[in-house]
Structure 1
Amino acid sequence: MTREDRLSIGASISGLALLAFAVLTATGAGVLLDAPTGWLIVIAVAALFGAALPHLGGLWAAAGAIVVVLAIEPAEPWRAAVAIAAVHLLHVLASLLLVVPPRGRVALRALRPTGIRFLLCQTAGQLAALAVAGLAGAGQVPFAVIEGAAAVLLIAAVGVRMLRLRRQSAFPSAIRR
């Protein structure tokens, strides 16, 4: 390859856009959850730290702070749904940022399997949280705990099945031009 050669990967997103999306996800979740000012600052600083140095786990710290905010504020089903989505998305983005450099690009086609897994896990997790919230409101917390454990086992079984699939089948064959 020479300097004039270009590698065409199709539609793509830059590493900087992923960084910005991660920071916006963390701070947006903090704002939506109506986090106290101190916790909102902790979430934002941890997300910025995680964006600057992804290998040190700042985005995972921001996700942990979101869980703490959920625990210290009044319980409502919509707050749990926001926290579940935000923490999961932060985990996915933090994992991606470990391999995508800020000045690099990643093809949207390569993100498709990750997006599908995200949606499948979100569907199962949000439905389980909604069911547990409905049962807990009816005063049947022990059954809700059993149902929550069953949901975790179901998600783990689906995850194991996803991991068993051949990784090559996740990506369509490249079209040569």
Structure 2
Amino acid sequence: DGHSMAKNGEAGRALSAAYAASLIGGLWGAFLLGLTIPVLRPILLHINSPELLAFSIFGLSMVSALSGSMPLRGLSMAGFGILLSMVGGDPQTGQERWTFDTLYLVDDLPLLPVALGLFALPEICDVAARRTAISDTSKYELTEGMLVGLRDVIKNWWLVAKCGSLGAMIGA
């Protein structure tokens, strides 16, 4: 886990391992996508509005099922995600929704800033409230930690291959 490694002073190692594994997994997924497009193309062309509605209902029910003991909380977060996805232009009519006359929002909310805000902002606020760094000590120099993380990925190549294949199957 990257956060616990950062607390132990191994942030460079964690980042390097994550970047290398992500690169390998992304390349593997792109390769598999290139192989499966000719097979899946005819199937994907037959997906219309009823099937998309079924996928949407299935996704919302999975959010509720995977929320554990708090399904209402999971559904409220799913509803919040749906509301965020409504910002921008309507694909059918081109009418602007929830843009507040801001040209920046006409092209929808950009995914990366929204994701960083949702996931990183609470941790940033926590660190700012504590007024301390995540780790006071560092086990490695930054470049040495990066090399150790890269060696970890090479040493655990089978785990990277399994996780990359699983991610490619889920992403398909």
TM-score (norm 2): 0.27
Q: Decide which structure has the larger Cα Rg and report it.
A: 2
TM-score (norm 1): 0.26
Structure showing greater relative contact order (alpha-carbon pairs closer than 8 Å, 6 or more residues apart): 2
